[in-house]
Every structure is written in structure tokens, then in C-alpha cells.
Amino acid sequence: MARIQTPNRVRGTQDIFGADERRFARVLEIFDRVRKLYCFQRVEIPMFEATEVFARSIGETTDVVSKEMYTFPDRGGDSLTLRPEFTAGIARAFLTEGWQQYAPLKLATSGAVFRYERPQKGRYRQFHQIDAEVIGAPEPAADVELLTLADQLLHELGIAEGVTLQLNTLGDAETRDAWRAALVAHFEAHRGDLSEDSLARLDKNPLRILDSKDPRDRPIADAAPGIDAYMSAEAGAFFEAVTRGLDAAGVAWTRNARLVRGLDYYRHTAFEFVTDRLGAQGTVLAGGRYDGLIESLGGPATAGVGWAAGVERLAMLCEEPVSPDTHIVIIPANADAESLAMSASAELRRRGIVTQTNFRGNLKKRMQRADESGALLALLVFPDSMVLKTMRTGNQEPIDRQDLATTVGVKVMEENGAKQGFLPERGFAFPDDEDVE
Ligand code: ATP
Ligand code: MG
């Protein structure tokens, strides 16, 4: 019989396991904690939308819409697209679900997004984003709060060192039109040296050239005029209010007058948190103000500002969290001890004790595994008795079945204390008590 060939993982997707998964989970956990500190409500939105949700809002000439979307007709013939980002779907929901009544609305979400890109380190076809949005607040204070949230998140992840907030403004319509004309003049003068992609952008969307990754475009883009000479008084005042707010909130930033974003819907504030620790994939978190987006989806003029960050890129910067804390490993000495072991582990877990069972192996093997796991305690279970071993000291003591949960509960507290420097056998004395009068 022919052997069945195992299908491969699809290119650009990932199976996340072990230390990578612990880092990944930690990013999501800390994001969830920090977004609650800022009173951002969690929302869930669909993985796919009508294609026009993204095509209309993100912009036809962007890389995302022109080359990266997973678009397919479903069985009913409708054109659907797997979400390449969250903002457009959230804006659609804001309009179709009547969320306008709650504005200003502070929202957060996370999950998988899909882009047909060339896979490499830190760049996948299915990846994960965390996302924060404020809809219905035209005030610069909303930009400041979002950026402060992002900054606190990076600090709590322990990766703020080496990550810089680059900030720009894309101005209002008046500012953009004037800047756009200056950019066109600059790029026209270098027409012969631009990549084909950028030549195509020159007519439709010259700002996009500033964001090009093509090495032929970079020197021309880097020498392009910045926005400041074209700034209207109003746009200037808005940006000034944002930077003043950031200074007041203690958020460090640097100006990058040529920063634009990969999506078309941004106005005023645009920003990226950038690191040089991830090679070419150095942008970990990015976003800005998108006051035109809701209108592009047929809604009333509505202000919005938001950001998204790649969970994988954040996770790659993080330390692996300390190994998961197993309190106790249950080890039946032989087959006859299995039911007592099961009753013991069931009770301990109901009492909130983190309990590991390994299903197989002889006593010696299992003890060795318990040692390596970093567990605090091991419980050796015999058909009619049990022995509690403290891993740190090697001490073993018989315990009664009916005292199990209490004895283990106290031991776990003592051993966790010992980890932090309190040695139970010496009492809970501070090491240098003698010095204190
Ligand atoms: P890049 O310039 O790296 O392509 P982008 O401007 O397309 O990024 P955004 O659309 O702003 O990215 O998405 C926000 C964040 O999502 C990025 O800052 C990055 O951390 C992450 N990200 C974007 N594309 C990918 C990808 N293909 N794989 C992994 N993470 C990604
Ligand atoms: Mg991209």
C-alpha cells in the first residue's frame, strides 16, 4: 500500500509551541491587563469581511490591497477577504452595529490577520496583531492616551529599551495637498531612478513612495521634503497638542518628518515604534489618526485613532517568562496506587494547586522528570500511603490522605517564599535583622 504523504504546513503560517508560545501568550496577557488599566473594552469581530470593507478603506494603491489580500469568492459567489488588519472591520462594525451611540469608544482586540507576503523572519502570511482604537474622539488627548498605552505596554513587556517612538503628522487636507505637490516635484526630478512600483505610485499616491522598501527608492525617499514647510496653522496646533501631551505623560518620542503609514486612511498623527533588534522587520507597533476612514465606508464624518502591533515581533523581543510554575507532581508508585493518585490530584486541583501528572514511566524516571520540571513538590503515592517530597531540600515526609490539601497548601506557600529568599526552616526573618535597632 502506498504510504500517505503528510501535508505540509502552509507557507508563511506557524505552529507556535514551547518557549515561543510562552512568550506569545505573555504578550497577549500583558496587553489584556494594560488595556484594562486604560478602560479599553475588548471586542471580537469576524475573521473575514466583504472585500469592499478593506478595499475602500485601506486604499486600492496600498501594498495590502493591491498585492497582499487573501480574497476569494465564497460558495454563494460573494467576494470575501480574510482580514489583513482590524481597523477596517471595527469601523464597519461601528457603523453596521449602531456603536455610534457609545462614542467616544475605546476598543481593543487581538487575533490572526492574513497577508500574502514573502515570508521571512518576523514576516508571515498568517500572523497575529493586538489592536487598540479610539473612535469618535477628534481630540489630541485621544492620540496621547493611545500612545501612552502603547508605551506602557512595551515597558511592561520589558522591551521598551531599544524601541523608539517615531512620530509624525500627515496634517489636514490643506497640508497634505501642498506637501503632496512638493513630493511629486521631488520624485519627478528623480523619475529615472525610481522602482517601477514607485513610478506607478507617483500618479496615484506619491506619499506611498516614502514608505517603499525598495533599495532603489530609499535614497530618493530619504531626501524628499518633510511636511513641516507645508503645515497649516491648524494641523500644526494639533500636532503641538499631541507632543505636549506625550511630554506631560512621560512618553519619549522622536520626530520623523518623512514617516508615512502603509495604509491610506491616516490624517494628522502617524507613528511607529521601531527597533533595530529585528533586522529588516523593525516596526513592532504602528498606527495613527484615521479621520477619513468611517466616511470611506459610507458613514458620517467620524474621528478615529488607533494602532496595531505584531504579536510575533513583540514576542521575539521578550525574555522567555520563567517556566510555568508547577506546584506539585503526583507519582503513583505502581498500578495499584493509580486510583489514590487520581483522587489526590483531583482534590489538589480543585483547591487551586497547580498539579502535574505524567501518565507513565517507572518510579525512578518519574522522579527524575519531576526534578527537571522545576516543580516545588512531588507526591509519591503508594496503594495505602503517601510521601511528600520537598524538591529544594530533598526532605521526604509521610502525610495522611485527609491532611493532603492543607499540608500541600502550606508547603507551596513556604516553598514559594523560599524562592523569594525566605527560608521556612529559619523562620520568616529578614536576612539582616540583626542590623536593625
Ligand atoms: P511592514 O512595514 O513591516 O510591512 P506594515 O506597515 O505593513 O509593516 P501595519 O499594517 O502597520 O504594518 O501592521 C502593524 C504591525 O503588524 C507591524 O508594525 C508589524 O509589527 C506587524 N506586521 C505587519 N505585517 C506583518 C507580517 N507579515 N508578519 C508579522 N507581523 C507583521
Ligand atoms: Mg506591510
Q: What is the pLDDT of residues 93-109, one digit of tens each?
A: 999 999 999 999 999 99
| CA 115–ligand 1 middle distance (angstroms) | 9
Q: Percent of the chain scored above 70 by pLDDT? A: 95
Whether 437 has a pLDDT exceeding 50, the answer reads no
Handedness of CA 252, 255, 258, 263 (dihedral sign): positive
- Is 331 a residue whose pLDDT tops 80? yes
Closest CA to 307 of 152, 120, 95: 152
- Residues 330 and 345: beta-carbon distance below 8 Å: yes
Is a pLDDT exceeding 60 seen at residue 400? yes
Q: From the CA of 316, which ligand is nearest?
A: 1
Percent of the chain with pLDDT over 90: 80
Mean of pLDDT values over 311-334: 90
Q: Tell me, yes or no, if the pTM score tops 0.95.
A: no
Which three-class secondary structure state does DSSP give residue 69? coil
pLDDT of residue 269: 96
Residue 335 pLDDT: 93
**Which ligand lies nearest to the CA atom of residue 260 in the structure?**
1
pLDDT at res. 428: 52
Give the confidence band of 435 by pLDDT, cuts at 50, 70, 90: very low
Distance 238 CA to ligand 1 centre (A): 27
Ligand 1 near 115 CB (within 6 A): yes
State whether the beta carbon of 312 lies less than 6 angstroms from ligand 1: yes
398 prior amide bond cis, ω within 30: no
Q: Coil, strand, or helix at residue 68?
A: helix
Ligand 1, atom 24, lies closest to the CA of: 123
**What's residue 427's pLDDT?**
60
| Residue range 16-36: mean pLDDT, rounded | 96
Residue 123 pLDDT greater than 80, yes or no: yes
Among 312, 317, 330, 310, which Cα is nearest to 388's?
Answer: 330
CA dihedral 175, 137, 133, 152 (to 10 degrees): 90
Ligand 1 mutation pick, 313, 316, 317, 318, max ligand atoms within 8 A of CB: 313
User: Is the CB of 286 inside a 6 Å radius of any atom of ligand 1?
Assistant: yes
pLDDT tens track for 209-236: 998 889 999 999 999 999 999 999 999 9
Q: Measured from the CB, is residue 313 less than 6 Å from ligand 1?
A: yes
Give yes or no for residue 85 CB within 6 A of ligand 1.
yes
Q: pLDDT tens digit string along 55-79?
A: 999 888 788 998 999 999 999 999 9
Separation of CA 123 and ligand 2 centre (Å): 9
In ligand 1, which atom is closest to the CA atom of 262?
6
* Angle made by CA atoms 33, 35, 41, in degrees to the nearest 5: 115
Q: Give residue 27's identity as a one-letter amino acid code.
A: V
Distance 146 CA to ligand 1 centre (A): 18
Distance (Å) from CA 217 to ligand 1 centroid: 20
Bridge-based pairing state of the strands 71-73 and 79-82 = antiparallel
| Mean pLDDT, residues 131-142 taken together | 98
List the residue whose alpha carbon is closest to atom 23 of ligand 1: 310
Q: What is the dihedral of CA 209, 211, 215, 219, to 10 degrees?
A: 70
Whether 140 shows a pLDDT value over 70: the answer reads yes
Local confidence band at 436 (pLDDT 50, 70, 90 cut-offs):
very low
Instruction: Indicate if the pLDDT at residue 266 is higher than 90.
Output: no
